[in-house]
Amino acid sequence: MRRQHLKQGGGGGITRMMIKLSVSVLVLVICTVSFLFSSTITTSVQSNYRTEIHLEELWSGANSGGWRPSSVPRSHWPPPPNESNGYLRVRCNGGLNQQRSAISNAVLAARIMNATLVLPELDANSFWHDDSGFHGIYDVEYFIKTLKNDVRIVESFPEIVKNGKKKKIKAFQLRPPRDAPISWYTSVALEKMKEHGAIYLTPFSHRLAEEIDVAEYQRLRCRVNYHALRFKPHIMKLSQSIVNKLRAQGHFMSIHLRFEMDMLAFAGCFDIFTPEEQQVLRKYRDENFAPKRLVYNERRAIGKCPLTPEEVGLILRSMGFDNATKIYLAAGELFGGDRFMKPFRSLFPNLENHNSVEPSDELAENTRGLAGSAVDYLVCLHSDIFMPTYDGPSNFANNLLGHRLYEGFRTTIRPDRKALAPIFIDRENGKTAGFEEAIRRAMLTTNFGGAHKRVTPESFYTNSWPECFCKLSPDNSADRCPSNDS
């Protein structure tokens, strides 16, 4: 009896062992397939990943992996109907690049609702003190012509005859929800448009969801942002002159140094400043941002503070850039005075800005307000390397990252502040051994301007891959460049 029991038990054990073995083999197969699949994606998307930093590669641009920019429609995309549902007017608030995103969203909203878009208003905000408007910054005729197959655009509301008198159409004012879905525009907004003939959406910043599962809508945004929004001729001419003068001396890098009062106040990074300066920052924060408990040491440790000019210089020197490197600075007034710039200037003395490259009355006249930001934008767009020092809530940096990607995968250096923070903190505490090597290791984990998967909170305007890109010889037919792509 006992022998029979043991025999049965042994058989059951063998069966259980075979089941476990089968499961293990199945798991191994699944993991292998998953690994191979993810490796294929990683290879095709992040082919620019580096195991070492070679400056000659950075100066020459990122590896495109065969991708090229393309925002023409890939499927049936009819021109706007002869009859629209009404007029759409928007007020784009914020600075130049926040407005730029809002304009792209406004065009898309007009397309979604089959509306006639009135030329977007640009907010003459208190920061810029600039009332030049759309006509003063962008080429209006080119904007309307470029988008004629996408939306109908007029420069102002037409006059209507009512009771024998000519009157301008009066729009019904609406405040869109932040990141409103398409359904809000096709229901609430469209209903009011049909009822009143016109609607006025204000404020209009971040009022349309960025992640939309309609690739043709995303490509329309790219057509607006990277093709239709062309700056006025005098802005283009001035910025090109600056680029030519900088490039005549060889390669040049542009840096958006976001060490400014508004960003420091927003981040809550006060402790490195004098008591008087801290008071100024706290006052600015109280007046402009919602109350929040912010502890400097905690913020600094997780990379929430803008990099100081000296930290920027140390990163670049650790990467191998020498003191002959030509650097164009795009920045507002740096907070804290020259004492913060001196360490940076000692590392990189060849610093320029638009005033030093092109010191003329014409430049002073044409770089006020939004136009000055436009000149900086174009110089940074065409620089060999662009480095934003704080690409969190910075529309200037984020839009430039996206535009440089679209212009041909131009090199960007995006410091990982969270990874870098403990290295800098150790240095301040006297632990300097291996400092440069630690910086290089941290920088190798960043993307230098190649195609990469968009992951929240990265904006569509920062990374429009893959919707606005294609391949001439793709593995996947869906990625093939359309025949009408010029």
pLDDT tens-digit readout, 163-177: 777 787 889 999 999
Q: How far is CA 4 from CA 17, 50, 417, 452, 480, in A?
A: 20, 64, 69, 63, 68
Q: Is 242 in the same domain as 211?
A: no
Mark which of 228, 250, 268 sits at the end of a domain: 228
Domain that holds residue 221: 87-228
Q: What is the pLDDT of residue 129?
A: 58
Q: Is 202 in the same domain as 327?
A: no
Asked whether residue 423 carries a pLDDT value surpassing 50, the answer given is yes
Mark which of 228, 244, 275 sits at the end of a domain: 228
pTM for the structure as a whole = 0.86
Residue 43 lies in a domain: no
Q: Is 358 in the same domain as 389?
A: yes
Number of domain units in the chain = 2
Residue 96 lies in a domain: yes
Per-residue pLDDT of 43-88, as tens digits, reads 344 444 567 899 999 999 998 999 999 999 999 999 999 999 999 9
- 223 or 22: which carries more pLDDT confidence? 223
Q: Is 331 in the same domain as 471?
A: yes
Instruction: Compute, in degrees rounded to 10, the torsion defined by CA atoms 333, 335, 336, 342.
Output: -60
Residue 298 lies in a domain: no
- 276 or 26: which carries more pLDDT confidence? 276
Give the C-alpha separation, 210 to 467, whole Å. 12
pLDDT class for 17, splitting at 50, 70, 90?
very low
Question: Looking at 4-8, 108-112, 162-166, 428-432, which range is the least confident one?
Answer: 4-8
Query: How many residues are listed for the chain in this entry?
Result: 486
Q: Is 155 in the same domain as 241?
A: no
Which element (helix H / strand E) includes 69? strand 67-69
Per-residue pLDDT of 388-415, as tens digits, reads 998 766 788 999 999 999 999 999 999 9
Question: Looking at 296-310, 312-326, 386-400, which range is the least confident one?
Answer: 386-400
pLDDT class for 362, splitting at 50, 70, 90?
low
210-244 burial string, b = 16+ CB within 10 Å, else e? Answer: bebeeebebbbbbbbbbbbbbbbeebeebbebbbe
- On the 0-12 / 13-18 / 19+ scale of CB atoms within 10 A, 474 is middle
Q: What beta strand segments (E) does 364-466 contain?
A: 385-388, 411-412
Asked whether residue 313 carries a pLDDT value surpassing 60, the answer given is yes
Q: Is 203 in the same domain as 333?
A: no
Q: Write the CATH number for 438.
A: 3.40.50.11350
Q: What is the pLDDT of residue 332?
A: 77
CA 385, 387, 391, 394 dihedral sign is: negative
Chain mean pLDDT for the chain: 87
Q: Is 393 in the same domain as 433?
A: yes
Give the C-alpha separation, 17 to 21, whole Å. 6
Residue 276 lies in a domain: no
Instruction: Find out whether 370 and 96 touch, Cβ atoms under 8 Å.
Output: yes
Residue 221 lies in a domain: yes
| Mean of pLDDT values over 342-356 | 93
Q: What is the pLDDT of residue 52?
A: 87
Q: Is 189 in the same domain as 241?
A: no
Q: Is 224 in the same domain as 98?
A: yes
Give phi and psi for 277, each to the nearest 5.
-65, -35
- What token pair was written down for 261? 């009062």
Residue 448 lies in a domain: yes
Q: What is the pLDDT of residue 160?
A: 77
Asked whether residue 456 carries a pLDDT value surpassing 90, the answer given is no
Give the C-alpha separation, 91 to 111, whole Å. 17
Q: Is 462 in the same domain as 367?
A: yes
Q: What is the pLDDT of residue 46?
A: 44
CA 463, 468, 471, 474 dihedral sign is: positive
Residue 9 lies in a domain: no
- 105 or 446: which carries more pLDDT confidence? 105
| Mutual angle of helices 96-113 and 215-223, in 10-degree steps | 130
pLDDT class for 158, splitting at 50, 70, 90?
confident
